[in-house]
Amino acid sequence: MATCGEVLVNLLESYGVDQVFGIPGVHTVELYRGLARSSIRHVTPRHEQGAGFMADGYARTSGKPGVCFIITGPGMTNITTAMGQAYADSIPMLVISSVQSRSQLGGGRGKLHELPNQGALVAGVAAFSHTLMSAAELPGVLARAFALFQAGRPRPVHIEIPLDVLVENADALLGSEPVSVARAGAAPSAVKQMSQLLAAAKRPLILAGGGAIDAAPELTRLAETLGAPVALTINAKGMLPGAHPLLIGSTQTLVATRALVAEADVVLAIGTELAETDYDVTFAGGFEIPGALLRIDIDADQTVRNYPPQVALVADAQIATEALLAELDRQPLPLRQTRWGAQRVARLWAELTPTWDAATRTQTLFLNTVLEELPGAVLVGDSTQPVYSGNLTLNLDHPRRWFNSSTGYGTLGYALPAAIGAWLGRGDGQPVVCLIGDGGLQFTLPELASAVEARTPIIVLLWNNQGYEEIKKYMVNRAIEPVGVDIYTPDFIGVAKALGCAAERIRGIEDLRVALRAAADRQGPTLIEIDQSVWMQEVTV
């Protein structure tokens, strides 16, 4: 007899799942019954939040949904923060949990791991939550989940399976086939209207977000066709090559870049929420789009949020961009369009570059040194100072190589487990670098052991400023006496070594180069600690 749990594993394999993150428990062992016989690899984090962050990082580098097996009750409360991060950034994540037997649901009888309503608990951080009331429902609910991942706005999905359903006979489902759903095409009428406005524009501009990440080549061609400057959100970094003459980068929170955006007479926003942390400096508003706004998004609801458009198109970003290019090929464009954009972008960078302060310059040098030594690296960041600087100053040549938790949901502790997942998702053996501060690392420090166990050779660059320095500055700037920000700093080198990692402390650039080369040659994880005050003394720009 094949149980529901065993058929679930078979179906996940058929959908291309090759990785699961989870911590086995008495309520989830039936999910594992068929796992050892499958081709799916299992990684055990040290906390369910870590499982969610690993799944998030895996999804961002692989483009496939990250899958978690999570225990009833505390496992679900633990993973909700990670689900919130994935929800905010539209990352595909499938969380499969157990729940009390059907006759016990909501009973309040004090059962092990009991919650009144797990579905209600995760409702705010999931596209949907479904309780499987019989094994026969399994193929249908998985089809719903993967339809969302394949063709909709990807966000976490939660499927909970009662303990008695997990062991139910599911032989009749062994022949179930996966469902494939194509993404939405582009309505010709909207494409024609948009292309006419773009063709007639004197100063067109493009704002691209993470929702357009798979349309990078098409977006680059569209920008070049229009001569349009391109601003990228943090999750869209790399969609245009770093040295492209039309690239504004991710500087739209700065006054000079906002002035450029305000000059545009037609703005195409594609795959972006146009939300606070990507566009509004210090969360005080002020980002304006006075020109005609055109919006393309896979989510109809999102096309009218924050900034209402003149024309909106609900479609896949790649399909829509290809359709716009085809329509524009039929319309000869004025020569002026191919000149304005590059000239204006050059002026912008000439204005911005001298304004970087010493901290931003030294942290950018730090990041550029990493990329010089590890040119193919993925950089996974937390909320820490070098990440804030890199969000503004760093431009990469390929997408899916820079992402972090410093915007959007903004959780701490993300980078370490996400880097583990990112390395597993990338699958090409290229380096994955975790950029994290001493405060953030203490949120998920035990996941160093997970990295050792999973044999993921991630490189953890620990930026140590002995506390929550950014929050301390924020308090001081608001005339609040700092409280709770000067936290105890442990011996990270000793802890990392105790958990099985290579670890060392460096002072300056040459030390960093040597340490990175050594780390890249190792089979396991490495922690490299950088004391901020020492780095600032040793490195001058």
Stretch 221-225: mean pLDDT: 95
φ, ψ of residue 61 in degrees (nearest 5) = -90, -30
Does the pLDDT at position 334 exceed 70? no
Cβ–Cβ < 8 Å for 96, 124: no
Position 27 pLDDT exceeds 80 = yes
Q: What's the pLDDT score for residue 15?
A: 97
pLDDT of residue 336: 46
pLDDT at 339 over 90: no
Q: Which residue reads 């991630």 in tokens?
A: 458
Per-residue pLDDT tens over the stretch 176-203: 899 999 988 999 999 999 999 999 999 9
Query: For residues 377 and 430, what is the distance between their CA atoms, to the nearest angstrom?
Result: 6
Q: What is the DSSP string of 315-329?
A: S-HHHHHHHHHHHHH
pLDDT for residue 489 is more than 70: yes
Average pLDDT score over the chain: 93
| Residue 241: CA count within 13 A, CB half-sphere | 6
Side chain identity at residue 178, one-letter code: P
Cα separation, 335 vs 339, in Å, equals 7
Dihedral of the CA atoms 223, 56, 145, 139 (nearest 10)? 140
Query: What is the pLDDT at residue 280?
Result: 63
Q: Which residues, 6+ apart, have CB-to-CB distance to 76 below 8 Å?
A: 48, 70, 95, 97, 115, 118, 121, 122
Please state the pTM of the whole predicted model.
0.95
The CA angle 175-178-183, to the nearest 5 degrees, is 160
Cβ 310 vs Cβ 339: under 8 Å? no
Domains (ranges, CATH) in the chain?
A: 4-173 (3.40.50.970), 188-350 (3.40.50.1220), 356-538 (3.40.50.970)
Helix (H) or strand (E) holding 371: helix 358-373
Is residue 197 a contact partner of residue 266, using CB atoms and an 8 Å limit? yes
Query: In angstroms, rounded to a whole number, what is the distance separating the alpha carbons of residues 384 and 369?
Result: 18
> Which residues, listed in sequence order, are joined to residue 232 by a DSSP beta bridge?
208
pLDDT at 284: 58
CA distances from 521 to 380, 517, 526 (A): 19, 7, 10
Residue count of the chain, please give it. 541
Distance, C-alpha 7 to centroid of its chain: 30
Q: What is the mean pLDDT of residues 38-50?
A: 97
Q: Say what the pLDDT of residue 281 is.
A: 54
Answer yes or no: are the C-beta atoms of 448 and 492 closer than 8 Å: no
Q: What are the CB-based long-range contacts (under 8 Å, 24+) for 280-287?
A: 280/253, 281/253, 281/254, 281/255, 282/253, 286/258, 287/252, 287/253, 287/258, 287/261
pLDDT at 533: 84
**Cα(262)–Cα(257) distance, rounded to whole angstroms?**
9
- Give tens-digit pLDDT for 361-387: 999 999 999 999 999 999 999 999 999
pLDDT of residue 91: 97
Q: Please give the DSSP secondary-structure letter assigned to residue 45.
A: -
Place of tokens 């022949």: 175
Model confidence over 389-445: pLDDT tens digits?
999 999 999 999 999 999 889 899 999 999 999 999 998 889 999 999 999 999 999
Q: Name the more confident of 257 and 330.
A: 257
- Mean pLDDT calculated for residue range 291-310: 94
CB atoms within 10 A of CB 112: 11
pLDDT at 221 over 90: yes
Tokens 């923060």 sit at which residue? 81
Average pLDDT over residues 478-491: 91
Residue pair 277/295 in contact (Cβ under 8 Å)? The answer is no
Say how many C-beta atoms besides its own lie within 10 A of residue 498's C-beta.
12
Q: What is the mean pLDDT of residues 33-62?
A: 96
Tens of pLDDT along 243-293?
Answer: 999 999 999 989 999 999 999 999 999 999 998 878 765 555 678 899 999
- Non-local (6+) Cβ contacts of 497 within 8 A are 503
**Is residue 338 pLDDT above 70, yes or no?**
no
Residue 182: CB atoms within 10 A of its CB come to 9
DSSP string, 257-319: HHHHHHH-SEEEEES----HHHHSGGGS------SEEEEEES-TGGGGSSS--SEEEES-HHH
